[in-house]
Amino acid sequence: MNHNNSGVLPLEGTNVVSLEQAVAAPLCTRHLAEQGARVIKVERPGSGDFARQYDDRVKGMSSHFVWVNRSKESLSLDLKSSEGLEVLFQLLADADVLVQNLAPGAAARMGLSFEELHLRYPRLTVCDISGYGHGGPLQDKKAYDLLIQSESGFLSVTGTPDPEGMVKAGCSVADIAAGMYAQSNILSALLLRGRTGKGSHIDVSMLESLVEWMGYPMYYSFDDAMPPPRAGSSHSTIFPYGPFPVGDGETVMLGLQNDREWREFCKQVLQKPELAEQPRFATNPQRSVHRDELGGLIREVFSGLSLAEVVKRLDVAGIANASVNDMQRVWKHPQLQARDRWISVETPVGDVPALKSPGLWFAGAVSAVPEIGEHSRAILSELGYSEEQIGQLEQRGVI
């Protein structure tokens, strides 16, 4: 069940400093934190990470922020002040990883390029996350998730067939892709340092992360071939694979992957074995070409059955299927409950439920969602600042 019972955390003793905002870098560092790293999140004094203001749906806190910022310490620091930068450089002296996704060029202007930092801290890994990466004509261009969904071609193959039918993903896929590639690269860099003694420079772009995810539609369109058509919530090139209405007003999602499953589907689900013999439905490319006609035949059979009856037939036939859940159903999903995937996490506005990270799970590494600057005094004390010095920094708005 992916439990870790040894009490040992894989990243224990690893210090991560993060100049992070929005989703990509915070998601990366939350996963590092929940593998045992100590993550110090550096935020602007007063306002903090701008994702704190995206909405107020979680008892007054932002949904994005609560999701990606648990298990970290928050240090408020004005990096435009020399005193704030001095604190940051003191932190980096003992850090293993610096993660940043500030606006393009901002970190370099503060003396935080890998080239400069590597001279001072040769064991430090620097992970830069940006929209387009370093170099190239777009390196300085601002990038947000939807813009990268557009630039990467993701939008062009997602949505409905009509000319205005492009649809964005309902969650931040470009940010998530970049954040997860950043995390796996950081783990590789830490292993590499164990062999070489040196830190690495990781340059992760949202564009490259999402284009990597676009491998299937890109190869499908190889050599100027037609791209897969937008097919709503159905599969663009495999049929039947998608949502079908049933008699009691519900919807079933089903997917066939091969001709053997197609024959079973005709025999046991549609109870029309003769359909399997018809040449226009015999292979997947043919079924996809004739999807309107075949879809009509399937809907006709399903219209006389309840969701439970359709699912039973599909399960008996060994045909993959799923419920079409909304968010409320996902919160109550019986599989997640049966596998004990929920925990309670503290936030400044009270406890909220949270999903355990998939895979290896280290309960001892999970802690609260921090308030802005909640750990500033404690971190500065560790660095040797006196109460009086900390008070002065506070008065001057440095922390």
* CATH code at position 65: 3.40.50.10540
User: What is the distance between the alpha carbons of residues 182 and 1, in angstroms, rounded to a whole number?
Assistant: 26
Token couple for 250 = 């519900």
- Res 62: pLDDT: 98
Q: Are 321 and 269 in contact (CB under 8 A)?
A: no
Provide CB contacts within 8 A for 110, sequence distance 6+. Answer: 79, 85
Q: Are 135 and 205 in contact (CB under 8 A)?
A: no
Alpha-carbon distances, residue 228 vs 143, 214, 244, 295, 383 (angstroms): 26, 11, 21, 19, 56
Neighbours of 146 (CB within 10 A): 15
- Is the per-residue pLDDT at 2 higher than 90? no
In a domain, 89, yes or no: yes
Q: Are 281 and 294 in contact (CB under 8 A)?
A: yes
pLDDT band at 184 (very low <50, low <70, confident <90, very high): very high
Q: What is the DSSP letter of 6?
A: S
In a domain, 228, yes or no: no
User: What is the distance between the alpha carbons of residues 348 and 366, in angstroms, rounded to a whole number?
Assistant: 15
- Res 76: pLDDT: 98
Cis check: omega of the bond before 240, within 30 degrees of 0? yes
Buried b (16+ CB within 10 A) or exposed e, 252-286: bbbbbeeeebbbbbbebbbeeeebbeeeebeebee
Both 70 and 162 in one domain: the answer is yes
Q: What is the DSSP letter of 124?
A: -
Both 287 and 348 in one domain: the answer is no
The last residue of a domain, from among 296, 324, 352 = 324
Both 247 and 119 in one domain: the answer is no
Neighbours of 45 (CB within 10 A): 20
In a domain, 180, yes or no: yes
Both 368 and 293 in one domain: the answer is no
The last residue of a domain, from among 324, 357, 385 = 324
Q: Smallest Cα–Cα separation from 325: which of 312, 340, 307, 341?
A: 307
What's the one-letter identity of residue 105?
G
In a domain, 8, yes or no: no
Which tens digits make up the pLDDT trace of 273-302? 999 999 999 999 999 999 999 999 999 999
Number of structural domains found in the chain:
2
Residue 330 burial by Cβ neighbours in a 10 Å radius (0-12, 13-18, 19+)? exposed
- Is the per-residue pLDDT at 4 higher than 70? no
Both 197 and 88 in one domain: the answer is yes
In a domain, 230, yes or no: no
- Is the per-residue pLDDT at 6 higher than 80? no
Both 320 and 264 in one domain: the answer is yes
Both 267 and 318 in one domain: the answer is yes
* CATH code at position 288: 3.30.1540.10
DSSP for 275-296?
GGG-GGGSSHHHHHHTHHHHHH
Both 190 and 49 in one domain: the answer is yes
Provide CB contacts within 8 A for 161, sequence distance 6+. Answer: 229, 230, 231, 232
Both 319 and 353 in one domain: the answer is no
Percent of the chain with pLDDT over 90: 97
DSSP for 314-359?
HHHHT-EEEE---HHHHHT-HHHHHTT-EEEE--TT--EEEEPPSS
Which tens digits make up the pLDDT trace of 250-272? 999 999 999 999 999 999 999 99
Structural domain containing residue 155 = 15-213+334-395
- Is the per-residue pLDDT at 5 higher than 60? no
Which tens digits make up the pLDDT trace of 40-70? 999 999 999 999 999 999 999 999 999 999 9
- Is the per-residue pLDDT at 1 higher than 60? no
Both 125 and 198 in one domain: the answer is yes
In a domain, 220, yes or no: no
User: What is the distance between the alpha carbons of residues 85 and 78, in angstroms, rounded to a whole number?
Assistant: 8
Percent of the chain with pLDDT over 70: 98
Both 252 and 309 in one domain: the answer is yes
Reduce the DSSP state of residue 256 to 3 states and report it.
coil
- Res 7: pLDDT: 84
Neighbours of 332 (CB within 10 A): 9
Both 129 and 176 in one domain: the answer is yes
Q: Smallest Cα–Cα separation from 145: which of 123, 134, 163, 129?
A: 129
The last residue of a domain, from among 279, 296, 324 = 324
User: What is the distance between the alpha carbons of residues 342 and 360, in angstroms, rounded to a whole number?
Assistant: 14
In a domain, 274, yes or no: yes
- Res 279: pLDDT: 95
Mean pLDDT of 360-373: 96
In a domain, 223, yes or no: no
- In Å, how far from its chain's centre is CA 319? 29
Token couple for 2 = 């992916």
User: What is the distance between the alpha carbons of residues 397 and 399, in angstroms, rounded to a whole number?
Assistant: 5
Q: What is the DSSP letter of 269?
A: I
- Res 3: pLDDT: 57
